[in-house]
């Protein structure tokens, strides 16, 4: 297997990964970045971004990630296709295998692999991706001002998204498959106190419809029971709020994770429980999940990595 030694390896290519590449490149760390299965990360599935500073007219998801990538390339970051298959953090330098054909020895590693939104598994979710289907109300809610939307889920995240959307949209449906909300009582109260939020209990989404985007949802109440009832609702947007899965499978349990699988970092830093390994972006952030906060973490991870190399005479 081909071998290579690097000072800083960045795994992942969303806002966190590309920002880390910009900062480590400017610090003369000669970083190598592997883009992974989805170059540009989740943001590339968003058609229009209006809340990232510096783009007063808004910007497309692919465009903003191209800008970040090109900025990193300008400072000679080594950005490569491919995905990391496995890591070994028990040795120094760290050992990382890329697609079973290349072995990287790295003095520092920045993990920026992001998280993947959970979907219902409907074909219509793919069909209407970027055309009414979203997994981020904070990102896309602005486009549904004075319109009607639906939020799928019954936990805290779903309630938070529904309350947020209720301040923008004319009407918000919450589609909950159980006969109760799993959210904390305070979040349940907030939902129930909003006049324009309508909770549909015992309800499953079985499809979406529309000509040039989402215009409605096919629902089934009391699915699989004698009371089963089919109905359609007219909506302009369909928001998934059933959770995210952090992309940490390749770590094989070598990094401390929280109960939901997110990488645990030390205080306000990006340090993990393995000295020399840092985490940035959605893979270590179950709370904000925004491009701007991921980019900020990428900056911090780069600075943490540079200081680690300096303190350990590896620079």
Q: Which residues are catalytic?
A: 136, 139-140
Please tell me whether residue 188 adopts helix, strand or coil conformation: helix
Please tell me whether residue 204 adopts helix, strand or coil conformation: strand
Q: What's the Cα-to-Cα distance from 7 to each of 164, 266, 277, rounded to whole Å?
A: 43, 22, 12
Spatial separation of the C-alpha atoms in residues 175 and 240, rounded to whole Å? 10
Q: Which of 181, 172, 155, 170 is nearest to 260 (CA)?
A: 155
Taking the C-alpha atoms of 245, 248, 253 and 259 in order, what is their torsion angle to the nearest 10 degrees? Answer: -30
Q: What is the token pair recorded at 221?
A: 């109440």
CB within 8 Å of 259: residues ≥ 6 apart: none
Number of Cβ within 10 Å of residue 134's Cβ equals: 28
Q: Where are the alpha helices (DSSP H) in the chain?
A: 15-26, 61-74, 123-127, 137-140, 156-166, 185-192, 291-311
CB within 8 Å of 176: residues ≥ 6 apart: 153, 154, 158, 199, 200, 201, 202, 203
User: What's the number of CA atoms in the CB half-sphere (13 Å) around residue 15?
Assistant: 20
């Amino acid at each position: 297997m081909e071998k290579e030694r690097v000072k800083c390896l960045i795994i992942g290519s969303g806002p966190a990964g590309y920002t880390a590449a910009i900062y480590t490149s400017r610090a003369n760390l000669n970083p190598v970045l592997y883009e992974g299965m989805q170059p540009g990360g989740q943001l590339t599935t968003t058609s229009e971004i209006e809340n990232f500073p510096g783009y007063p007219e808004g910007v497309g998801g692919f465009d903003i990630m191209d800008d970040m990538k090109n900025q990193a390339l300008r400072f000679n970051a080594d950005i490569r296709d491919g995905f990391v298959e496995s890591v070994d953090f028990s040795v120094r330098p760290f050992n990382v295998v890329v697609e079973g054909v290349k072995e990287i020895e790295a003095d520092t590693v920045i993990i920026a692999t992001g998280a993947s939104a959970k979907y219902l598994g409907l074909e219509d979710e793919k069909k209407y991706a970027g055309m009414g289907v979203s997994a981020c109300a904070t990102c896309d809610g602005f486009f549904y001002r004075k319109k009607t939307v639906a939020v799928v889920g019954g936990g805290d995240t779903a309630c938070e998204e529904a309350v947020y959307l209720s301040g923008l949209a004319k009407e918000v449906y919450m589609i909950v498959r159980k006969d109760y909300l799993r959210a904390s009582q305070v979040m349940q109260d907030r939902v129930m106190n909003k006049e324009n939020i309508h909770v549909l209990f015992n309800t499953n989404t079985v499809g979406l419809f529309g000509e040039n985007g989402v215009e409605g949802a096919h629902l089934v109440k009391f699915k699989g029971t004698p009371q089963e009832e089919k109905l359609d609702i007219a909506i302009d947007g369909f928001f998934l709020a059933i959770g995210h899965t952090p992309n940490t499978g390749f770590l094989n349990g070598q990094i401390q994770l929280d109960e939901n699988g997110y990488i645990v970092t030390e205080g306000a830093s990006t340090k993990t429980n393995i000295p020399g390994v840092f985490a940035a972006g959605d893979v270590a952030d179950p709370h904000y999940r925004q491009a701007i906060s991921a980019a900020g973490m990428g900056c911090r991870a780069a600075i943490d990595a540079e200081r680690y190399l300096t303190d350990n005479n590896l620079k």
